[in-house]
């Protein structure tokens, strides 16, 4: 296992981890590659080709803007969302783009950003970058794949990292291997039994391979604060979302209604579900608007885990108090489950449909909630399994290629499913027929059988049955 919890939970911008965050990272790394090999001064022109799902729904998902920003040297975890529109406008108005902010080249999107209907061989989310000299010769070329959740790999299948972040002495890690490696749910349970550690404790020990305990805790709480910030911004923002459908933002009005009538909870015991819906919708409205969110594990599913975590913090009186330690336990447990999906299946809607996004987020949230409600490792694994089993086959069919319909409501439904999955698991003893590993294998098989038109291409499902107006 070489995946960290902070690979799954990444601070970035909306609307899509695979179509926005990944391409921005890829574009920036290509510019860095050019700088380090042939030198920026040798470049007179850059062209970018987008393939497959990036081509089909790239404009609606912000891929075009992400590529421009990445080539200019911006990073998804650092860029100010309020500065995106002015930066894009400057490039488009001037017809020039400064590679890494240092070397200006002509860039006109209709000539230099090309949308191809075919797919590259390794993944539907393929990109090809070319740097040309004064004679039009190709002096640098790279292919990248945005494989979901902001993860990027090159043509050899090797992960491409955002190399701008330098490791301090506090984040350098230690040793040659993880103390408690696992790739499957069965291996994770075996490690818990052998060590007597909870999933969260085991994950914390593994994270200390890369970071000190203090740094692990600091980054986990930073993830929580960013999630909470997305909820707060979503609850305060009104108007319509970007795009031709002018989808109305609903979270702010719902927040007002719920806040005006707190006594409703005394009459309606399910009113807390309204709050869970609110938390999820607030985050995903913020994501759809291109705001700051946490990829958890994708942007399209960014509202599920924050919603369930807010439910834990605001409504539960469980055996594990909802303090900083409880929040860390929640996120570490969710991370352990997410790693199994990343290692054995996919987080990409373009590869396996929405079951790989909202389905995985639901599974992670269910297991994490079961953990902070006092569940055993077996009950946590059961909760995670239930969370995915009842999202199997879910298609990715965004209307208009936008992360709005059905995505915003789908996150709310995923959060509610996660809560119920945790409660069902905790009513049992952890023994169940379908294991987490079996359901993950099934999810991957289902994705392979799913028609391409249902996998983030907007060529099937709701995307063709909802009239855009």
Query: What are the two backbone dihedrals, phi and then psi, of residue 159, each rounded to the nearest 5 degrees?
Result: -65, 140
**Cα dihedral 78/83/84/90 (nearest 10):** -130
Residue 105 lies in a domain: yes
233 and 282 belong to one structural domain: yes
DSSP E strand boundaries for 55-158:
96-99, 103-106, 113-115, 126-132, 138-148, 151-154
Give pLDDT, residue 263.
Answer: 82
Average pLDDT over residues 449-454: 97
Residue 24 lies in a domain: yes
Domain that holds residue 228: 185-465
pLDDT in tens, 29-39: 999 999 999 99
Q: Do the bridges between strand 103-106 and strand 96-99 make them parallel or antiparallel, or are there none, so unpaired?
A: antiparallel
Give pLDDT, residue 173.
Answer: 47
pLDDT in tens, 340-398: 999 999 999 999 999 999 999 999 999 999 999 999 999 999 999 999 999 999 999 99
Domain count, the chain: 2
Choose the final residue of a domain: 154, 175, 206.
154
pLDDT of 221 over the 90 cut: yes
d(CA 178, CA 277): 38
215 and 105 belong to one structural domain: no
227 and 347 belong to one structural domain: yes
Residue 371 lies in a domain: yes
> What band does 178 get if pLDDT is binned at 50, 70 and 90?
very high
pLDDT in tens, 193-209: 999 999 999 999 999 99
Residue 147 lies in a domain: yes
pLDDT of 164 over the 70 cut: no
The helix/strand/coil state of 45 is strand
* Helix ranges (DSSP H) in 95-143: 109-112
Across all residues in the chain, what is the average pLDDT? 94
145 and 290 belong to one structural domain: no
pLDDT in tens, 98-136: 999 999 999 999 999 999 989 999 999 999 999 999 999
Residues in the chain: 469
Cis geometry, peptide bond prior to residue 424 (ω within 30 degrees of 0): no
Q: Could you give the angle at the alpha carbon of 75 between the alpha carbons of 69 and 79, nearest 5°?
A: 85
pLDDT of 467 over the 80 cut: no
254 and 214 belong to one structural domain: yes
Give pLDDT, residue 163.
Answer: 67
Q: HSE of 254 in the Cβ direction (CA atoms, 13 Å)? A: 21
Tell me the CATH number at 114: 3.30.1330.90
259 and 325 belong to one structural domain: yes
Average pLDDT over residues 154-159: 93
Q: Is the dihedral of CA 413, 323, 189, 428 positive or negative?
A: negative
345 and 451 belong to one structural domain: yes
> What band does 261 get if pLDDT is binned at 50, 70 and 90?
confident
> What band does 176 get if pLDDT is binned at 50, 70 and 90?
low
142 and 208 belong to one structural domain: no
Q: Could you give the angle at the alpha carbon of 3 between the alpha carbons of 342 and 308, nearest 5°?
A: 65
Residue 171 lies in a domain: no
Choose the final residue of a domain: 108, 138, 154.
154
Give pLDDT, residue 100.
Answer: 97
The conformation of residue 248, written as its DSSP 8-state character, comes to B
For 38, 71, 153, 357, the CA distances from 418, given in Å and listed in that order, are 50, 39, 30, 13
pLDDT of 170 over the 60 cut: no
Query: What are the two backbone dihedrals, phi and then psi, of residue 135, each rounded to the nearest 5 degrees?
Result: -90, 0
Residue 166 lies in a domain: no
How many helical (H) and strand (E) elements, i.e. helices and strands, does the chain have?
20, 9
Residue 3 lies in a domain: no
Average pLDDT over residues 404-423: 98
325 and 260 belong to one structural domain: yes
> What band does 174 get if pLDDT is binned at 50, 70 and 90?
very low
264 and 390 belong to one structural domain: yes
> What band does 317 get if pLDDT is binned at 50, 70 and 90?
confident
123 and 242 belong to one structural domain: no
Residue 227 lies in a domain: yes
Percentage, residues of the chain above pLDDT 70: 96
- State both tokens at 342: 């990343």
199 and 88 belong to one structural domain: no
pLDDT in tens, 68-104: 999 999 999 999 999 999 999 999 999 999 999 999 9
pLDDT of 168 over the 70 cut: no
Which pTM was predicted? 0.94
Choose the final residue of a domain: 154, 171, 195.
154
């Amino acid at each position: 296992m070489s995946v960290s919890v902070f690979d799954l939970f990444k601070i970035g911008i909306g609307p899509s981890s695979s179509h926005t965050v990944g391409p921005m990272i890829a574009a920036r790394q290509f510019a860095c590659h050019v700088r380090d090999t042939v030198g920026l001064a040798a470049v007179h022109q850059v062209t970018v080709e987008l393939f497959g799902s990036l081509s089909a729904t790239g404009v609606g998902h912000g891929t075009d803007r992400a590529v421009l920003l990445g080539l200019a040297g911006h990073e998804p975890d650092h860029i100010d969302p309020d500065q995106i529109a002015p930066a894009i406008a400057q490039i488009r108005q001037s017809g020039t783009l400064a590679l890494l902010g240092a070397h200006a080249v002509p860039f006109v999107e209709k000539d230099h950003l090309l949308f191809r209907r075919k797919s590259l061989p390794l993944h539907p989310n393929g990109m090809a970058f070319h740097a040309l000299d004064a004679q039009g010769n190709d002096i640098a070329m790279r292919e990248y794949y945005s494989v979901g959740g902001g993860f990027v790999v090159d043509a050899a299948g090797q992960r491409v990292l955002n190399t701008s972040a330098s490791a301090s002495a506090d984040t350098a890690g230690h040793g040659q291997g993880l103390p408690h490696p696992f790739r499957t749910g069965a291996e994770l349970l075996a490690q818990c039994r052998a060590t007597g550690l909870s999933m969260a404790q085991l994950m914390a020990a593994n994270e200390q391979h890369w970071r000190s305990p203090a740094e692990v805790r600091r980054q986990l709480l930073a993830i929580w604060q960013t999630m909470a910030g997305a909820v707060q911004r979503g609850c305060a923002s009104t108007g319509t979302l970007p795009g031709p459908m002018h989808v109305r933002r609903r979270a702010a009005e719902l927040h007002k209604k719920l806040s005006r009538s707190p006594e409703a909870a005394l009459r309606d015991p399910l009113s807390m579900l309204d709050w869970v819906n609110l938390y999820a919708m607030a985050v995903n409205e913020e994501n759809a608007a291109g705001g700051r969110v946490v990829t958890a594990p994708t942007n399209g599913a960014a509202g599920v885990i924050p919603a369930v975590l807010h439910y834990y913090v605001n409504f539960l009186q469980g055996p594990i108090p909802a303090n900083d330690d409880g929040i860390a336990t929640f996120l570490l447990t969710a991370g352990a489950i997410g790693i199994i999906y990343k290692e054995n299946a996919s987080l990409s809607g373009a590869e396996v449909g929405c079951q790989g996004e909202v389905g995985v987020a639901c599974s992670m949230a269910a297991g994490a909630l079961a953990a902070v409600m006092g569940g055993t490792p077996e009950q946590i694994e059961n909760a995670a399994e239930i969370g995915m089993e009842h999202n199997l086959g879910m298609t990715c069919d965004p209307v208009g290629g936008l992360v709005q319909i059905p995505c915003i409501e789908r996150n709310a439904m995923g959060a509610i499913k996660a809560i119920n999955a945790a409660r069902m698991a905790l009513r049992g003893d952890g023994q169940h027929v379908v294991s987490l590993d079996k359901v993950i294998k099934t999810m991957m098989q289902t994705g392979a059988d799913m028609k391409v038109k249902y996998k983030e291409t907007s060529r099937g499902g709701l995307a063709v049955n909802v009239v855009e107006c």
